C-alpha cells in the first residue's frame, strides 16, 4: 500500500511538472497554431535566472525573477521571431527548433554543460508520512503549484475578456478578427503566459531533480508535447488530465515493469489516443 | 456610395478566383451580390474585409482599404456576418455576444427586441443551438455595435422556411439603419430586400443595376443565375 501511495504522489509530482509546461504549449498551439519547439528554452531561462541570483537575493525573489524572465522571453520570441511567420508554418518550425538549439548552446557556453545544484527550501527536503509511505515534501510543492496554476488559468479563461478572446481564438481566430479584435495581442499574451508557466516548471523541476542542466528543457518538452496531444490542442483541462495519466503511467510502469518501460508505455498511450480519439481527450475547445 | 470595388482580383492556391470584379454599394438599402455557386461571391466579401490577399482597389467610405487589417476595418464599422454563421460553439450565447462588444454601451435592447430567444438562452452553449438560433447569434453580434456597412453572406442557407422569413424580416429592419451588401441564393429573399443587385460570373462582374430590373427580366435571370424569373415569387 505504501508503495502505491509513494508511486502515486511521485507520479502526480511529475504530472504537475508536465502540466506546467504543457498548458502554455497547448494554448500557444491552440490559439496561434504555432508548434513551439523553443518552449523548453523558456523553462531553462526561468531555471537559470533563478539559480543565478538565488544566492544573493534569496529563493523567493529569485523565483519571481525567473518567472518574469521566462515570461518576457516568451513575449519577445513571439513579437520578434514568430509574428512575421504566422502564415509560414515550415519557417516557424525551423526558427523554433533553431532557437531551442541555440538556447542550449548559449547556456552551455555561459554556465557549462554540467548540471548545477539547484537551491531548495529546507522543508522541501523533508519527508512527510502519508498512509505509511514516506513522501518527499517537494512532491506536494509541485502538486500544489500545478493545482493553483490550473485553477488560476481556468478562472482567467472563464472570467476575463482576454480569456474569452483566447477561448474563441482557439476555435476560430479569423472570426475573432472579424469581430474587430486584434487577436495578435492575445498571441503575445499566451506566449508570455506559456513562458511564465514553463519558467515556473523549470524552477520547480530544479527543486524536484535537485539540479538544472542546459538540456533539461528539451528533454521535458518531449513529454509535454505528448501531454498536449493526448489532452487536446488548446485545452487546459485536457492537458491537466493527460499530464496526470502520463505521470502516473510512467511511474507505475517504471516500478513494476523493466527500466525504461515507463517511457515506452507513454508512447503506447499516445498511439492509442491518436487512434481512438484523434482530437485528444478534450478536443479543440479551450478550458472544457 | 459607401463601398466602391474596382478591378478586384484574388488568386488562391494558384487559381484565379476573382478576375476584375467591379461594383458599387449604395449608402442605403440592400445591394444583393448574386451568381451561381463558385463564382466568387464569398471570396469578394472576404477580400473586401482583408481576409484574403487581393489586388485592385476597394474604397470604403471614400478611403482605400485593401491591405488594412480585418479588425481595423471592423472597428471602422464594416461588419461581417459570415457564411455558416461561425458562432463559437464552446462559448455560451452570452459569451458570443460579449466577445462582439466594441462600444461601451452595446445595443442589447435592439438585439433582445429582434431576438428575444437569445435572452432566455444566454447560458446555453452556442454549439448546441439550432441553425436558425445560431444565425440569430451571428446577426446579433454585429447589431450590438454601430456599423456603417454590413457584409452578410448567405444568411438563410440551410434554414427552414419559417426561419428564412424571420431572418428576412430582421434584415429588412437592419437595412433601415445601415446599408447591407448581401450574398444570397434565395431569390425570394432578394426580391423582398434588395434595391440593387450585382451578378458575378466566373470571377467577373456580369451585371449591375436595379434588383427589380434583373428579377423582372426572365432572360437575364435565366442566363445569369440559372433560374427562371419567377423563382422565389410567392
Q: How many residues does chain A have?
A: 288
pLDDT at B138: 96
**Minimal Cα–Cα distance from A165 to chain B, Å?**
7
Looking at residues B102-127, what average pLDDT do you find?
Answer: 95
**Window 13-52 of A, Cβ < 8 Å to B:** none
pLDDT exceeding 90 applies to what percent of chain A? 75
Max avg pLDDT among A189-198, A228-237, B157-166: A189-198
A58: Cβ–Cβ under 8 A, 6 or more apart, which residues?
A: none
The helix/strand/coil state of B87 is coil
- Measure the CA dihedral B30/B35/B37/B40, to 10°: -80
Could you tell me the pLDDT band of residue A33, with boundaries at 50, 70 and 90? Answer: confident
Alpha-helical (H) ranges within chain B are: 41-48, 70-75, 93-100, 108-114, 116-120, 131-143, 161-175, 187-193, 211-216, 218-225
End-to-end CA distance of chain A: 34
Q: How many CB pairs under 8 A join A and B?
A: 60
User: What cell does A165 get?
Assistant: 478572446
Measured CA to CA, the distance from residue A249 to residue A255 in angstroms comes to 10
Q: At what angle do helices A39-57 and A183-209 cross, to 10 degrees?
A: 60
DSSP secondary structure of B111-161 = HHHH-HHHHHTTTSBGGGS-HHHHHHHHHHHHHTS--SEEEEE-TTTT--H
Report residue A32 CA to chain centroid gap.
17
pLDDT exceeding 90 applies to what percent of chain B? 85
In this complex, which of B82, B89, B98 lies closest to A178 when CB atoms are compared? B82
pLDDT at B231: 54
The helix/strand/coil state of A74 is helix
In this complex, which of A168, A178, A288 lies closest to B70 when CB atoms are compared? A178
- The whole-chain average pLDDT of chain A stands at 92
Q: Which is more confidently placed, A243 or A283?
A: A243
pLDDT tens sequence across B10-62: 998 889 999 999 999 999 999 999 999 999 999 999 999 999 999 999 999 99
pLDDT at B75: 96
pLDDT tens sequence across A166-217: 999 988 989 999 999 999 999 999 999 999 999 999 999 999 999 999 988 8
From residue B76, give the alpha-carbon distance in Å to each of A180, A211, B55, B70, B169.
Answer: 9, 54, 21, 10, 26
- Asked if residue A73 has pLDDT above 50, the reply is yes
pLDDT at A260: 83
- Asked if residue A280 has pLDDT above 90, the reply is no
Which helix (H) or strand (E) covers residue B30, if one does?
A: strand B30-34
Evaluate whether A18 touches A223 at the Cβ level (below 8 Å).
yes
Chain B hits for A183, Cβ within 8 Å: 71
Looking at residues A56-71, what average pLDDT do you find?
Answer: 96
- Asked if residue A19 has pLDDT above 60, the reply is yes
A167 touches chain B (CB under 8 A): yes
Amino acid at each position: 500500500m505504501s508503495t502505491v501511495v509513494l508511486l502515486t504522489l511521485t507520479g502526480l509530482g511529475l504530472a504537475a511538472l508536465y502540466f506546467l509546461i504543457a498548458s502554455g504549449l497547448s494554448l500557444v498551439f491552440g490559439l496561434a497554431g504555432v508548434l513551439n519547439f523553443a518552449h523548453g528554452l523558456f523553462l531553462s531561462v526561468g531555471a537559470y535566472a533563478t539559480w543565478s541570483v538565488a544566492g544573493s537575493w534569496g529563493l523567493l525573489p529569485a523565483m519571481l525573477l525567473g518567472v518574469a524572465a521566462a515570461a518576457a522571453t516568451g513575449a519577445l520570441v513571439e513579437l520578434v521571431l514568430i509574428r512575421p511567420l504566422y502564415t509560414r508554418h515550415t519557417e516557424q518550425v525551423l526558427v523554433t527548433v533553431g532557437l531551442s538549439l541555440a538556447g542550449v548552446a548559449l547556456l552551455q557556453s555561459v554556465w557549462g554543460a554540467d548540471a548545477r545544484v539547484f537551491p531548495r527550501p529546507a522543508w522541501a527536503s523533508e519527508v512527510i508520512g502519508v498512509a505509511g509511505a514516506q513522501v518527499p515534501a517537494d512532491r506536494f510543492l509541485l502538486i500544489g503549484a500545478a493545482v493553483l496554476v490550473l485553477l488560476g488559468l481556468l478562472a482567467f479563461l472563464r472570467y476575463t475578456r482576454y480569456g474569452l478572446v483566447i477561448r474563441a481564438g482557439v476555435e476560430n481566430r479569423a472570426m475573432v478578427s472579424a469581430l474587430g479584435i486584434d487577436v495578435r495581442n492575445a498571441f503575445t499574451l499566451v506566449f508570455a503566459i506559456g513562458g511564465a508557466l514553463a519558467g515556473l516548471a523549470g524552477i520547480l523541476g530544479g527543486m524536484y531533480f535537485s539540479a538544472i542542466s542546459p538540456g533539461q528543457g528539451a528533454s521535458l518538452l518531449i513529454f509535454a508535447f505528448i501531454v498536449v496531444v493526448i489532452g487536446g490542442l488548446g485545452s487546459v483541462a485536457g492537458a491537466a488530465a493527460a499530464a496526470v495519466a502520463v505521470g502516473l503511467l510512467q511511474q507505475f510502469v517504471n516500478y513494476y515493469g523493466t527500466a525504461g518501460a515507463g517511457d515506452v508505455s507513454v508512447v503506447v498511450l499516445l498511439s492509442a489516443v491518436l487512434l481512438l480519439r484523434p482530437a485528444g481527450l478534450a478536443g479543440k475547445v479551450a478550458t472544457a | 456610395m459607401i463601398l466602391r470595388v474596382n478591378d478586384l482580383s484574388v488568386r488562391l492556391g494558384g487559381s484565379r478566383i476573382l478576375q476584375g470584379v467591379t461594383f458599387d454599394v449604395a449608402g442605403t438599402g440592400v445591394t444583393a451580390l448574386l451568381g451561381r455557386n463558385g463564382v466568387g461571391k464569398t471570396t469578394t466579401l472576404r477580400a473586401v474585409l482583408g481576409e484574403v490577399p487581393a489586388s485592385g482597389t476597394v474604397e470604403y467610405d471614400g478611403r482605400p482599404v485593401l491591405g488594412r487589417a480585418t479588425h481595423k476595418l471592423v472597428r471602422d464599422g464594416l461588419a461581417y456576418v459570415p457564411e455558416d454563421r461561425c458562432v463559437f460553439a464552446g462559448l455560451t450565447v452570452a459569451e458570443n455576444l460579449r466577445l462582439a462588444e466594441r462600444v461601451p454601451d452595446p445595443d442589447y435592447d435592439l438585439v433582445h427586441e429582434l431576438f428575444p430567444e437569445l435572452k432566455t438562452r444566454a447560458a446555453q452553449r452556442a454549439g448546441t443551438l439550432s441553425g436558425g438560433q445560431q444565425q440569430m447569434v451571428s446577426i446579433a453580434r454585429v447589431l450590438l455595435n454601430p456599423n456603417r456597412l454590413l457584409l452578410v453572406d448567405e444568411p438563410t442557407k440551410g434554414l427552414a422556411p419559417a426561419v428564412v422569413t424571420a431572418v428576412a424580416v430582421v434584415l429588412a429592419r437592419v437595412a433601415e439603419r445601415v446599408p447591407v451588401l448581401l450574398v444570397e441564393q434565395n431569390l425570394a429573399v432578394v426580391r423582398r430586400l434588395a434595391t440593387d443587385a450585382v451578378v458575378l460570373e466566373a470571377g467577373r462582374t456580369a451585371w449591375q443595376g436595379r434588383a427589380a430590373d434583373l428579377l423582372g427580366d426572365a432572360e437575364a435571370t435565366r442566363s445569369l443565375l440559372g433560374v427562371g424569373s419567377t423563382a422565389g415569387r410567392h
